[in-house]
Amino acid sequence: MGRTIIDKLWDEHTVADLGDDLSLLFIDRIFLHERTGSVALKGLEAAGRTVRHPEQVFCTMDHIVDTTPGRTDDTRMPGGREFITSTRASARAAGIHLFDLGDDRQGIVHVVSPEQGIALPGVTLVCPDSHTCTLGGLGALAWGIGSTEGEHALATKTLAVRRPKRMRIRFEGRLASRVYAKDLILHLISRFGASGGAGYAIEFAGSVIRSLPVEARLTVCNMAVEFGAWTGIIAPDDLTFEYVRGRPFAPRDAQWEQAVAHWRTLASDPDARFDNELEVDCSQLAPQVTWGTSPQHGGSIDGVVPDPAAESDPNRRQSAERALQYMGLRPGTPLAGLPIGAAFIGSCTNSRISDLREAAGVLRGRHVAPGIRAICVPGSSQVKKAAEAEGLDQVFRAAGFEWRESGCSMCFYAGGESFGLEQRVVTSTNRNFENRQGPRTRSHLASPATVAASAVTGVLTDVRQLPAT
């Protein structure tokens, strides 16, 4: 019987079979950030242990750093400065790669990892962060872990992991203009639920996935965890190899040719069997936006807020009722035209250079509506530099957006900066949970293009309805 790509990578990295579907896996690369990585490093120090193979361990400052221009170690999060200074000291003492504030490699961990060639096809990569599954977009087997697991991985380069079930999701058809990877994954989650992938490692496949550029594939895999999955992965192909080629930590010369030869084998065999398979027809897919407090609370921008009474599942019905109360919405309300107070472009989901180009294309020649606070936070210092070289920062500024330094920023609220009480925000982030972007802030997830279109109109807007500028 053939094997799935997930099985191939699992078997390649198995150090020992521990029984009961539990395997001791070798971990190729470990990435830390200052919010959780400092805990793992400190725990290792307290136990008198050292980092095994520090050259394969990386750390960046991203989660709680200030993103306003001219930033320092001071941060708006209470106690944030200590996280930064402690992580810096521990990382330097451990001899690992540190992308500190002021380093042109600094940025959001899941943006930095692919752009530096740290995440590669076929590697295992872990990080104490739930969106590590992003890196499956390159064909890596990557998943989020806790700080205690991080400490174990740092000391031993291994982790005991239970083998997940395998699922394949085929996205077929052809995406319409101004419909993006973010719309794909939001549609999947709203259709099958936030627990639709629970217990699975998911291979995303199909004609639409093959047509996506690499950065869009990263967006799809980023939200596999919002579907409840252990991880998501896309088989690497020529687009992947060209994306990886020449990046700082990627193989070179003869090793490059050897690596590509191996990467070409990382695809599910034709007769591979999955525990579950789904297929999504994308030919009629419209831009998506969420209306509630879970990524599963979403639908087409040209739709309406659903009536919870129509939901047959009592748990989903109760969840929807609570969501509408929190969001201040009523069933039947059209999503397009709903007034907003703020717009945010950023996060590990949608802050790469391709995302900023799409948003800038909508914003060029336009200005945000009166009273709208609009912020753009590039995903890394490299993305920011590239955007400024293309003049995208000038487009954002001219349109009335704040142009920030790289970091996670207002993707989540940690006691620092927020959008304000009950402010309605359209955002390119991955989570719209209660209080996610501030106390009682109401977040609507969407693609960067939809965020930009909504910012200039002051209401949730179907980007397809905006005339070209």
- Average pLDDT of every residue of the chain: 97
Lowest-confidence pick of 29-38, 321-330, 365-374: 29-38
Q: Backbone phi, then psi, for 285, in 5-degree steps?
A: -70, 130
412 vs 291: CA distance, rounded Å:
18
For residue 316, is pLDDT > 90?
no
* pLDDT, mean of residues 71-90: 93
| 41 contact partners, CB below 8 Å, separation of at least 6 | 32, 87, 90, 91, 94, 154
The 10s digit of each residue's pLDDT in 235-273 is 999 999 999 999 999 999 999 999 999 999 999 999 999
The Cβ of residue 246 has, within 10 Å, a number of other Cβ atoms equal to 10
| 173 contact partners, CB below 8 Å, separation of at least 6 | 207, 208, 281, 282, 283, 285
* pLDDT, mean of residues 335-339: 98
* pLDDT, mean of residues 135-160: 97
| 306 contact partners, CB below 8 Å, separation of at least 6 | 291, 299, 320, 331
The 10s digit of each residue's pLDDT in 407-456 is 999 999 987 889 999 999 999 999 999 999 999 999 999 999 999 999 99
* pLDDT, mean of residues 95-120: 98
Contact of 328 with 441, CB cutoff 8 Å: no
For residue 311, is pLDDT > 80?
yes
For residue 387, is pLDDT > 80?
yes
- Domains detected in the chain: 5-164+237-262 (3.30.499.10), 165-236+268-281 (3.40.1060.10), 288-465 (3.30.499.10)
**For residue 349, which amino acid is it?**
T
Contact of 159 with 152, CB cutoff 8 Å: yes
Q: Band of the pLDDT at 29, cuts 50, 70, 90?
A: very high
The 10s digit of each residue's pLDDT in 213-233 is 999 999 999 999 999 999 999
For residue 277, is pLDDT > 90?
yes
| pTM, rounded to two decimals | 0.98
For residue 469, is pLDDT > 80?
no
Where do the H-state alpha helices sit in 18-128? 37-46, 80-94, 109-115
- Per-residue pLDDT, 38: 83
Give me the sheet containing 57-60, strands edge to edge.
97-99, 57-60, 29-33, 124-127, 141-144
For residue 468, is pLDDT > 80?
no
